[in-house]
Amino acid sequence: MVDFKVEIVSDTVCPWCYVGHKRLQAAIAQFQSSGDHTFSVSWKPYQLNPSAPNTGIDKRQHYVERFGAEQAAAMHERLASIGKQMGINFSFGGKTGNTWDSRRLIEFAAEKGKQTAVVERLFAAYFENEKDITDREVLLAAAEEAGLDRAEAKEWLETGKGGNVVDREVARARMRGISGVPNFTINGFYQLSGAQDPQEFVDIFEEIAQKQV
């Protein structure tokens, strides 16, 4: 049996982070079918656009302004196709904005052992249900759905807790040379960047397992 530790650097408005998470899950399921292994996943913060507004702005318009109408449409079409393969129903309406509060909520969830549960609900809310990632009511709903205490989560968000951790970890990621997400570190050594195919993860899992025989 091998204990695998996977650290994921991600941002809550990065669609490839959602895809990458699903592909990692598929790889873990595939690999666990061949042996009795354990996996622990932790999420580290990143902000693709730290200067984004704290109140939501139109998501479609943002994509058009950033990438141009043609490229944005092509990107959405590609994501929709890939998403369907992974059980994600991407929807590109709604609002986008600064992810600092959502990242702080994930730090709160880490203290309660609910990090992945919160991340998954935030991804679903933002990418599939067109919820505003800057809206604290949306964040609190995700916290509740993941089994966290709403009052504790609200107090955490309202008092700025976790902010120093988020800022420090984002700076650490940049110092490590991470300029895009998702970024996966497996057992502190093996790294993968981007939403890799499940087999890429499985290959690393197998290499680690073989070295521990």
Residue 54 corresponds to which tokens in the numbers above? 């704290």
213 pLDDT above the threshold of 80: no
Residue ranges in 33-68 assigned as alpha helix (H): 59-67
Amino acid at 163: G
Give the domain range for residue 22. 3-212
CATH number of the CATH domain containing 106? 3.40.30.10
Q: To which residue do tokens 């073989």 refer?
A: 210
Say what the alpha-carbon torsion angle 44, 104, 145, 53 is, to the nearest 10 degrees.
-110
Give residue-wise pLDDT tens across range 25-51: 999 999 998 778 999 999 999 999 999
Cβ contacts of residue 141 below 8 Å, gap of 6+?
A: 121, 125
| Domain count for the chain | 1
Give residue-wise pLDDT tens across range 128-178: 999 999 999 999 999 999 999 999 999 999 999 999 999 999 999 999 999
